[in-house]
Amino acid sequence: MPSLAVLVATTRTQGKHGSDFAHVPDGELVDLAPACCCGEYEADLDGPCGNARAFQGLDSYRPTTTAEVAVRALTVVQYRNLFHRSLITAGYEDDQELWREAQEDADEMLDYAASWPPGTVLERRGRVLVVRARPTVLTGIRRDRQPTR
């Protein structure tokens, strides 16, 4: 099966900033959180409105400030369908416009994910994604295991 580089929620590097938050299960696919109308969206990126620094889980609809590039066994069509399904489940009316928006959002996230190697942790600063941690040899290794001798 084909594989895609995608962005998923991660708790790696959480706490680097005092304004960090992680309410999305590790490994859940994420999108950029939508803009809000509180007037603080990009005025103060570390202020009380976290939307300008958040990713949003496709299933949980919860926010997180960190995402990691991961490889998943998905086709582009399957990935786009997940974005479309997420919008329908969130209560949006299903029509051609919604399908187009889902495709555009999915493709934007694929472009972001393709820009860095798997294991890279990203943070969001408005419409810009910034590398927070580069992949290491240990990325992806379970840290709860003890070395065997």
pLDDT per position as a tens digit, 62-112: 999 999 999 999 999 999 999 999 999 999 999 999 999 999 999 999 999
DSSP annotation string for 7-43: EEE--TTTTSSTT--B-S-TT-BEEEPPP-SSS-TTT
Share of the chain above pLDDT 70, in %: 82
Q: CB–CB of 33/51 below 8 Å?
A: yes
The reply to whether 25 falls in a domain is yes
Check: CB of residue 65 under 8 Å from CB of residue 45.
no
81: in domain = no
**41 vs 3: which has the higher pLDDT:** 3
Number of domains in the chain: 1
Q: Is residue 129 part of a domain?
A: yes
β partners of residue 125: 128
